[in-house]
Every structure is written in structure tokens, then in C-alpha cells.
């Protein structure tokens, strides 16, 4: 798995993404766009492509950080209750701050996502039977409890249809002016890269980290804040994209080992490629209509997840 091949594949899929759509734009038209084509490209296709890449990169790296900190290959924002907690936070912001700006909604979702992730980490500390499969199952149960609470209040205040439609991962709603919040993820990802070596050390356990002079709790808290903030931004802008932070880091780790700093670029590239591929597939299957990205990634991702579960002994997961 060489980096330059991944970059070339990402560029190739990006070009395909720009020309696919109801309004026809051929590759040669890129050099001489008419007014209608230019409007489609700059107001719809480019924002969609940028949001796909940022969301794919962000959620994949979130999964890598969580797996490193929890020392479990099957922990991610999907299986730790982080996404469900952010969803509850968005519901609360809709109920209490009906006319709030996206930034306020993001901060409320971030607070709930962070609280939910911290609760999951506290649950992990109390679990004695730390089996590879048992921990994510606990996370899924925890997430389902939060999801049930969200569904109850959404039904109680007649918001369930609004929540279901809004928070299902879908890049069809992305246009200029509706995706810029994703740019917040970029400086956060840079911080994640700067802390990569510390996350690697923290993943070896608290006692080992303290012996090396690392402030273990501070590093873990920084990692959880990064995960919660990025998850909130992506869910608020794009919607829920399941399994992404779970399968991509595992696929990279199988071939690249456990060095987090070295794995970050590969995880970022593969995450963007995977989401881009799923988005293109969803746009082609029932063309000119399209399948939401949450459904496409969910189906393909769940299949890969089952494969990883069945082969975990072979890969040492």
C-alpha cells in the first residue's frame, strides 16, 4: 500500500465525482465551461467533493485515535456512543435554541459527544473482562440507550421525522454555504498529528506512559476532545456516517503496523477514498437518483466489519 498510489486513486475518483450528476459535465468541458456548468461545478460539485474528503479524513482519524487510546481495534465513534451522544446534543439544541446558529448547535453537540465519550471511558475502567469484542458491544449498548432517549424526546416533541431526515449521512444537501463548518476539522487534525506520538505512548497503558514522563490523563483528554469535536462537526454538517472510523484504521493497521504518526497519512487517504467511492457508487446505482452516503457506507462497512470480526485471530486484532 504505497502512498503515491493512494494519492493517484484519490485524484482519479475526485475527477469522476466532479463529472457525475444529473447536469452533464464532460471531462473536456472543464477547460471551457459555460455559465450553467460553471455554476453547477463551483456551487455544488466542488463543495460536495471537499466535504466528502474532509469527512472521510476526519472520521477515519477519529477512529484511529480512539482505537489507540482504548487499546481496542473495534472501538470507534460508532461503537463508543460518541455519535449517538452528539445526536442527542443536536436534539437538545433544536429544543432549547431553536434559532441558534450552526456554531452554537455544534458546541452543544460537542459538549454531549464529549460527555458521552468520557462516560464510555469510565465504563471501560470498571470492566474487568476486557475482551476485544466485549468492549465495543458495551459501547453499542451504551449508544443504543442514548439513541433511545433521543428518539423518545424527538417523538415527544414531534421532531423524529426532522431528526431522521437531517442526521442521515447525505452529501446531496451539500452546497456552497452549507459545508464550511467542516473547515474547523482541519486545524484539529493538525493538532492530532502533533500529538500522534503521545497518543501512541498513551496507548501502551497508564503505568508505562507515566514511567516515560507522559501526562497520561491530559493526553487522553486531548484525544477525546479531538474526537468529540470532529464528530460533532461532521454529524451537524453531513450527518451520521457509520463504521468509517472503525474499518479504515483496522485496514491500515493490518498492513502498516501500530505506529500512529506513520499511519495517519494512510488512514486519511484511505478514509477519503472509501467515502468518495461509496458516494460515487450511491450516485450510479439508481441514477439519476442517489442513495444516501450513510446507507452505502453502512452496508459496505458492516460487511467489512463482519470480515474483520471473523478474521481477528489471524490479524491479531
pLDDT of residue 137: 81
Residue 202 belongs to what domain range? 3-315
Q: Which grid coordinates belong to 267?
A: 488512514
Integer Cα distance of 4 and 25 in angstroms: 27
Residue 80 maps to which CATH number?
1.10.3470.10
Compute mean pLDDT per 10 residues along the chain, 317 residues long, and list them.
82 86 68 71 83 90 86 81 86 81 84 89 75 76 88 83 69 74 87 85 78 82 88 84 85 79 87 91 84 86 80 55
**Which spans in 24-101 are helix H?**
35-40, 46-70, 82-96
pLDDT of residue 171: 77
**Which spans in the chain are helix H?**
3-19, 35-40, 46-70, 82-96, 102-126, 134-156, 160-167, 185-194, 196-202, 206-211, 216-237, 244-256, 260-285, 293-310, 312-315
Tally of domains in the chain:
1
pLDDT of residue 101: 78
Residue with cell 470492566: 127
pLDDT of residue 272: 92
- Tell which residue, 280, 279, 276, 274, has the closest CA to residue 303: 274
CB 250 within 8 A of CB 73: yes
CB 269 within 8 A of CB 6: yes
- Tell which residue, 231, 25, 247, 252, has the closest CA to residue 109: 231
Integer Cα distance of 197 and 190 in angstroms: 13
pLDDT of residue 99: 76
Q: Which grid coordinates belong to 17?
A: 465525482
Integer Cα distance of 193 and 86 in angstroms: 23
* CA quadruple 173, 179, 185, 186: dihedral, nearest 10: 130
Helix (H, G, I), strand (E, B) or coil at 133: coil
Integer Cα distance of 252 and 263 in angstroms: 7
pTM: 0.85
Largest CA distance in the chain: 64
Number of Cβ within 10 Å of residue 210's Cβ equals 12
Amino acid at each position: 500500500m504505497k502512498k503515491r498510489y493512494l494519492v493517484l486513486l484519490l485524484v482519479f475518483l475526485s475527477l469522476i465525482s466532479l463529472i457525475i450528476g444529473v447536469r452533464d459535465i464532460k471531462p473536456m468541458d472543464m477547460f471551457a465551461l459555460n455559465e450553467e456548468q460553471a455554476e453547477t461545478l463551483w456551487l455544488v460539485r466542488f463543495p460536495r467533493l471537499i466535504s466528502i474528503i474532509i469527512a472521510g479524513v476526519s472520521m477515519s482519524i477519529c477512529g484511529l485515535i480512539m482505537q489507540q487510546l482504548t487499546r481496542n481495534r473495534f472501538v470507534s465513534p460508532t461503537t463508543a456512543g460518541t455519535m449517538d451522544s452528539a445526536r442527542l446534543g443536536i436534539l437538545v439544541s433544536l429544543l432549547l435554541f431553536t434559532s441558534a446558529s450552526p456554531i452554537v448547535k455544534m458546541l452543544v453537540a460537542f459538549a454531549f459527544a464529549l460527555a458521552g465519550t468520557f462516560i464510555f471511558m469510565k465504563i471501560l475502567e470498571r470492566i474487568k473482562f476486557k475482551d476485544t469484542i466485549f468492549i465495543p458491544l458495551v459501547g453499542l449498548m451504551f449508544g443504543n440507550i442514548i439513541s433511545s432517549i433521543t428518539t423518545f424526546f424527538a417523538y415527544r416533541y414531534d421532531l423524529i421525522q426532522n431528526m431522521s431526515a437531517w442526521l442521515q449521512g447525505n452529501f446531496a444537501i451539500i452546497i456552497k454555504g452549507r459545508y464550511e463548518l467542516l473547515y474547523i476539522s482541519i486545524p484539529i487534525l493538525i493538532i492530532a498529528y502533533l500529538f500522534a506520538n503521545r497518543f501512541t505512548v498513551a496507548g501502551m497503558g497508564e503505568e508505562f506512559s507515566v514511567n516515560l514522563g507522559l501526562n497520561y490523563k491530559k493526553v487522553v483528554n486531548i484525544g477525546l476532545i479531538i474526537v468529540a469535536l470532529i464528530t460533532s462537526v461532521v454529524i451537524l454538517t453531513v450527518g451520521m456516517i457509520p463504521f468509517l472510523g472503525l474499518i479504515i484504521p483496522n485496514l491500515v493497521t493490518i498492513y502498516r503496523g501500530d505506529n500512529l504518526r506513520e499511519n495517519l497519512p494512510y488512514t486519511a487517504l484511505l478514509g477519503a477514498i472509501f467515502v468518495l467511492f461509496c458516494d460515487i457508487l450511491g450516485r450510479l446505482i439508481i441514477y439519476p437518483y442517489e442513495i444516501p452516503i450513510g446507507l452505502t457506507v453502512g452496508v459496505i462497512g458492516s460487511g467489512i466489519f463482519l470480515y474483520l470480526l471473523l478474521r481477528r485471530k489471524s490479524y491479531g486484532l
